[in-house]
Amino acid sequence: MPQIHFNTNKVFLEYTLLKYLSDNRSSSLTDSELNSLASDIIELSNLFTKNREILPSQYLNNKNLRRAYMMYFLPSNIYKIHLPLKELSLHPQKILSKKEIKILDLGSGPGTTILGILDFFSKQKKRPSLEFTAIDSVVENLSIAKDLFKLFTENVNIDASLKTFKINIEKTEAIPEGSYDIIILSNILNELFYKEEKKIAKRVSFLTTIIRKFLASDGNCIIIEPALRETTREMLEIRDSLVKNGFKIYSPCLIDEPCPALSNPKDWCHEDIPWIPPKIIKEIDKLTGLRKDSLKFSYLVLRKDKLSLSDILEKNSYRVVSEPLVSKGKLEFYICGIGGRRLITMLDKDKTPSNMQFQKLQRGDIVSFRDLIDEGNRFKIDKGTTVANLSSHIYKSPHLYI
Ligand SMILES: C[S@@+](CC[C@H](N)C(=O)[O-])C[C@H]1O[C@@H](n2cnc3c(N)ncnc32)[C@H](O)[C@@H]1O
């Protein structure tokens, strides 16, 4: 599990959102307000999952659903951008080390990712000046994004500006001209061309145009999607087409081959990062039966050049792409790297000081091995195998190149 330190002062975030949503009245909600918020959150959650077929295209036009999004989905979504940014900042070519970074946030909603980026950079020693362009089809979202941007920038020490545009991004020709260092699509790709028959092909063509036209030659297109099987598998199909179109995956994939998760219709690949939610989210979870105690998402960082996180890793590095699979007398994981996605097994009786790191692996970790036994369709760890969890080393490394 990547050791990411989420920076924002959660109390400040919770307080700011509550105050904003209750028109500066107070920083707490009454029981009846909390119950009505909880029922809107259930409605929105169902629209995102089991009732997706009826998700209206302008659902955040609805005041109650917008409020539900801001109180329940925005606080956790803010932090998801930290993982790709942290991975970019590890590259020795100093990908994020610029005086000024231009960011295009497509489908910005209420400015979720903008807050996450402000939070990320405000805690760095060298702070670039950040120039945001936020685009959404719902004007109310943009006005909230502007309000939250103002509230946050008043409280964090960073030079930043925000321009907003109400545009349907499916019409790429309407997007204002420019060359951006970072293009963000956070929880939006799965909503594009949703009702259309060839939605995957349309999304590939849309992204190809966006990247060719608006991404700087050394820029990063960051896609974040919900960790649901359907939305993630669609993103992975799109990933494969974009690789064919010549773009490079910077992370999370350590290989450029077609995604191995797609060969079994039951598989998909996502992150699950521990997170301590603000108090109000815990209260809502109690009322709704929903659970937001970790950050679950899928992501892709695409580049036009050939830089990749794998540049800083040993050749035989793998990403852990499953939960620990525990059964009597053994522990297994799925790992993905050269040779594709494979099961790796260790019997409890083979545990030694050199392979004991295996017991501590978590989804998303990057790991390397010496003297691993290759049994064809799976790997085996025995007493002679050495296991190194690179995540604890690289993510905590002082060598942040920004
Ligand atoms: C699930 S929200 C995500 C908001 C934000 N990016 C986040 O991660 O929290 C999707 C956003 O995309 C916007 N959206 C959906 N389709 C769009 C389109 N064709 N053009 C512009 N915005 C769109 C919606 O209005 C909504 O604000």
> pLDDT digit string (tens) for 273-320?
988 888 888 889 999 999 998 999 999 999 999 999 999 998 889 999
Q: Name the average pLDDT for the chain.
A: 90
| pLDDT of 7 | 44
Give Cβ neighbours of residue 159 (< 8 Å, ≥ 6 apart).
127, 129, 130
Tokens of 5: 């330190």
Cα angle 148-292-153, degrees, rounded to a multiple of 5: 15
Residue spans per domain, the chain:
10-311, 314-394
Cα–Cα dist 327/304, whole Å? 43
Q: For residue 184, which atom of ligand 1 is closest to its CA?
A: 6
By most ligand atoms within 8 Å of CB, the mutation choice from 61, 104, 133, 137 for ligand 1 is 137
Check residue 11 and give its pLDDT: 58
pLDDT at 402: 45
What's the CATH number for 314-394?
2.40.50.140
User: Does the pLDDT value for residue 176 go beyond 80?
Assistant: yes
Which class is 10-311 in CATH?
Answer: alpha beta
Residue type at 397? Answer: S
Binned at pLDDT 50, 70 and 90, residue 182 comes out as very high
The angle subtended at Cα 20 by Cα 295 and Cα 164, nearest 5°, is: 75
- 329 φ/ψ angles, rounded to the nearest 5 degrees: 80, 0
Q: Indicate if 314-394 has the same CATH topology as 10-311.
A: no
Residues of the chain by 3-state class (helix, strand, coil), percent to 5: 40, 25, 35
> What is the position in ligand 1's atom list of the atom closest to the CA of 224?
8
Residue range 372-395, pLDDT digits in tens: 999 998 999 999 999 999 887 666
Ligand 1 pocket, Cβ-based, cut-off 6 angstroms: 60, 74, 77, 107-109, 112-113, 136-138, 141, 168-170, 186-188, 191-192
Output the CA 18–ligand 1 centroid distance in Å.
22
Residue nearest to atom 27 of ligand 1 (CA): 109
Testing ligand 1's pocket by substitution, the residue of 136, 144, 167, 172 carrying the most ligand atoms inside 8 A of its CB is: 136
Could you tell me what percent of the chain has a pLDDT over 90? 72
Here the tokens at position 178 are 């420019």
Alpha carbons 386 and 371: distance in angstroms, whole number: 7
- For residue 172, the model assigns a pLDDT of 97
Q: Does 347 score more than 80 pLDDT?
A: yes
pLDDT score recorded for residue 31: 85
Average pLDDT (66-94) is 91
Q: For residue 333, which amino acid is it?
A: F
What tens digit of pLDDT does each residue of 187-237 get? 999 999 998 999 999 999 999 999 999 999 999 999 999 999 999 999 999
